[in-house]
Structure 1
Amino acid sequence: MRYIIPVTVVVVLFVYGLIDCIRSEQRDVRTFPKAAWVLIIVLLNVVGVILWFLFGRPQYTETASVSRGGSSPSRHVPSTYGRPTAPDDDPEFLRNLALNRAQKLEAERLRKLKEELDAREAKLREEHPNDDTKK
């Protein structure tokens, strides 16, 4: 009976730490890859969760820039606290928009080239119908 509260605290801490690890962004996780942290938490239980909170959990700070590849990642938190920024104010959104536009243009260019190639092949088959039997 006297172990109910400590066991409950340990189970809640374990579940919270595991879910927190699983829901974290791969690029924000520190020290080890995310999959390694999940294994550490599962294998070491409470010690793994404590290690996760100390050395692996992302540190979200209130900065205006997003650091990528650093040892302590930060996430953009708008000064309005919770209100989203406009898409035209977000450089990452604009970069993605330009990249999507370029990818669509390239896909259209490749589609047209394929149509031209198919038309040329059809024309060659019409001009030389017996060439297919020689192969």
Structure 2
Amino acid sequence: MARFLIVGGFLAAVFWIFSVVDCAVQPPTRHRGVRKGVWIAIVALLPVIGGILWFALGRARPGEEPRDLYVPLDDDPSHLRRISEAEQDQRIRELEAELAKLDDDHPKENGSSGERS
């Protein structure tokens, strides 16, 4: 029984070290869910459970397209490939009309200070 605990503890320590190193060396684009620093903290503070979470949820799979978490749809290439050119043109016209309306609603003030007399 003591041998089992020693071997199990050794394997847990090796898995924990491997998980921390793997998480730390992956580029930020390969981290899913939360930022790289948060994943490192999770793996380091929760030795076995953190490593399991990292490999099950946090690490992007090989062949999976790396994706920034904060890319707006108008700048996301995968989203732009899914919509047609006509839909893109229509969206651009809608945005230009919105901007023109905002400019009409808020005319520029004369003078640079913006203070009233």
- What is the TM-score of this pair, normalised by structure 2? 0.52
Shift of 1:4: 1.2
Alignment match, 2:57: 55
Contact 1:29 / 1:58 at 8 angstroms: preserved in 2? Answer: yes
Relative contact order higher in (CA < 8 Å, ≥ 6 apart) = 2
- Aligned: 1:25 with 2:23: no
Alignment match, 2:39: 37
Partner of 1:58, secondary structure, is: coil
| Counterpart-to-counterpart distance in 2, 1:25 and 1:10 | 25
Which runs of no fewer than 5 residues in structure 2 stay unpaired?
Answer: 70-117
2:17 to 9, 15, 21: 15
| Counterpart-to-counterpart distance in 2, 1:38 and 1:12 | 16
Amino acid across the alignment from 1:35: G
Alignment match, 2:77: none
Amino acid across the alignment from 2:9: V
- Post-superposition CA distance 1:39-59 (Å, at most 9, x none): 001111110010001000121
What percent of counterpart residues are identical?
28
Alignment size in residue pairs: 67
Amino acid across the alignment from 2:26: S
Partner of 1:51, secondary structure, is: helix
> Computing the radius of gyration over CA atoms, which structure comes out larger, 1 or 2?
1
Q: 1:19 to 1:68 in 2, by over 3 A?
A: closer
Q: Indicate the RMSD between aligned Cα atoms, in angstroms.
A: 1.9
- What is the TM-score of this pair, normalised by structure 1? 0.46
| Counterpart-to-counterpart distance in 2, 1:68 and 1:20 | 17
Which portions of structure 1, spanning 4 or more consecutive aligned residues, are displaced by more than 6 angstroms? none
